[in-house]
Structure 1
Amino acid sequence: MRVDRTIEVAPSPSPPWAGPPGISFSPALVERLLEEFSEPGDVVLDPFVGFGTTMVVADRLGRRGVGVELLDERVEHVRGLVARPADVHRADARDLATLGLPRADASLSSPPYMTRTGHPEDPLDGYRSHFAGGDGYERHLADLVAVYEAVATQLVPGGPVLIDVATLRVDGEVTDLAGDLARAIDGRGGPLALEEAIEVAGEEPPSWMVADVVLVCRASASARG
C-alpha cells in the first residue's frame, strides 16, 4: 500500500507484561504515537486492549487510558497494571457504542489480524468461533470498520484514530491487511476520514510481517450522534 511517511522506532525488548514477542503491541511505538498525537491529560481509547500496552504507556505519559477487551484473563491482567482498573471494560469491541464510555481525545490500538485465505477463525471473537461461508476476510474488514466508526463517535471532533496494522506473509501468501483496511475506511464516507499512512521502521519485525503501518484517521465533526 502507499505510505505517506516513515517513523523510526528504536528496537527495544518488550517488558514481560506486554505479552509474547511477535504478537504484542510495541511499547516504544505506543510512546512515539501518543507523544505526537495526544497531550497530557487526554483520554486515550483502545478498543482492543490485549495485554494493555496502550493503557500502561498512557498512564506513564500522563494520559488516561480507557479500553475494551474480550478475554477475561487479559482483562484481569491489565487491571493489575493500570492506575484505573475500572477503565478496562470486559466486552466485545463490536458492542463499544453501548458501553457508556467517556468521551475521548484520541484512540490508539492494534486490532486482531487475519489472513485473506486459510483462516476460518473470527479474530474479533478471540479466534474461538468460525466464519460460515468463504467471505470471512471481507466480514472481518467490515467488522473492523464498524468498530472504528463506533470509536469515532466517542472522540472529540477531529480526534485521531490511530490503527497499527500489518501486511502479512503466511505460507508464502501476502495479505495486505493494512492496505485493505485503509481502502475499506476511505471508501465509506462515514464518520472516519483516512488522513495518512505511516510506515514503522527500526524495530525487528517478526518473520510473518512484511510491513508495519499506522493508519491515521480523524473523527469527523458529525461523528457524534
Structure 2
Amino acid sequence: MTPAAPRDTPPSDRPLPPYLTATANELAHERVSGADEDVHFTERTAAAVIERLTDPGDLVLDPFAGYGTALAVAIRLGRRAIGVEILPERVDLIRGRAPEATVIEGDARGLHQLVGGPVDLCLTSPPYMTANAHPHNPLTAYETVDGDYRTYLEHLARLARTVHDLLRPGGHLVVNVANIRHESHTTALAWDVARAVGGVLPFVGETVIVWDVLPHDFTGDYLLTFRRQ
C-alpha cells in the first residue's frame, strides 16, 4: 500500500493508493442495527479516503448517505460531515449513529437546493443499477418502476455538476461503484459512471478494492477519484 503522505502535504497532492483491501467479515460486522441490507463500503475504506484527501476540520459530503458510514467516520476523524438521504428511516439511523453530522432528508437530485459549499470532499456510493432487468429506479430508493439506465447515468452526471460547484478548488469527489454480473449480463457500471462523471469533473484515477470474497454479483469494486481544478 502507498505510504501515508506527510501531513504538511495539501490534500490535493495526496493521491489515493492503487488498491485497498476489505473483507466480508468487516462488511457483516459493520451492518447497522435495523438495516435491511449491507453498507456498500467498509469503515476502513472510508477512513482511508477521508484521512488521505482531507484535513481535520474539513467538510465531507455524502449525497447518498445510506446508513451513514462516510458521515460517521468523518466525524470520528475530526472532520465535519453533511449528508442527504431519501429514506426517512435511514435518516433516523444516521442521526443515531453520527449525531454531530448534519443529515438532510431529501432527494440527492435536488442537492443544489439542499446543501451549500464549500465542500472539501464528497465521498459517496450511489445506489446501483444494472443495464438489464432493472425496472426499479435506484434514485427513488427502488420504490418506483421507472428505471432507465441511460437516464440514471444522466442524473449522476447532473449531480456531479452540482458537486463541482460545491467543491472548493482542489477538492475531490470519490465515488465507490462496482461492475455487476446479473442474469448472465455484466454491466460495466464503474466505467459508465467514470465516463458520465468524468465529463463534468476531471478524472484522477481508480483505486481497486480487493475483497477476500467479492460481494454478491460484483465482478470488481472501485473508488473513482475526480478533482475540481
What is the CA–CA distance in structure 2 between the aligned matches of 1:56 and 1:15, rounded to whole Å? 12
5 Å-filtered alignment, 1:180-199, equals 180-186=192-198, 188=199, 190=200, 192-199=201-208
Cα deviation, residue 171, structure 1: 1.7
Report the residue type matching 1:165 in the other structure.
V
Report the residue type matching 1:54 in the other structure.
A
* Contact residue 45 and residue 67 of structure 1 kept, 8 A: yes
List runs of 5+ in structure 2 lacking aligned partners.
Answer: 1-15
In the alignment, what sits opposite 1:82? Answer: 98
The TM-score with structure 2 as length reference comes to 0.85
What is the CA–CA distance in structure 1 between the aligned matches of 2:74 and 2:196, rounded to whole Å? 28
Cα deviation, residue 17, structure 1: 2.1
Identity of aligned residues (%): 34
Root-mean-square deviation (CA, aligned residues, Å) is 2.0
Cα deviation, residue 203, structure 1: 4.5
Deviations 1:15-46 (A, max 9, x none): 24274565532111111111111111110000
Question: Which of these residues, 114, 120, 131, is aligned with residue 146 of structure 2?
Answer: 131
What is the CA–CA distance in structure 1 between the aligned matches of 2:126 and 2:69, rounded to whole Å? 13
Cα deviation, residue 95, structure 1: 0.4
Kindly indicate whether residue 53 of structure 2 is the aligned counterpart of residue 37 of structure 1. Answer: yes
In the alignment, what sits opposite 1:54? Answer: 70
List runs of 5+ in structure 1 lacking aligned partners.
Answer: 221-225
Question: Which of these residues, 132, 148, 154, is aligned with residue 117 of structure 1?
Answer: 132
Deviations 1:38-57 (A, max 9, x none): 11111000000000000000
The TM-score with structure 1 as length reference comes to 0.86
In the alignment, what sits opposite 2:8? Answer: none
What is the CA–CA distance in structure 2 between the aligned matches of 1:35 and 1:20, rounded to whole Å? 29
Higher RCO, Cα 8 Å, sep 6+? 1
In the alignment, what sits opposite 1:64? Answer: 80
What is the CA–CA distance in structure 2 between the aligned matches of 1:193 and 1:146, rounded to whole Å? 15
Cα deviation, residue 10, structure 1: 4.4
SS at match of 2:45: helix
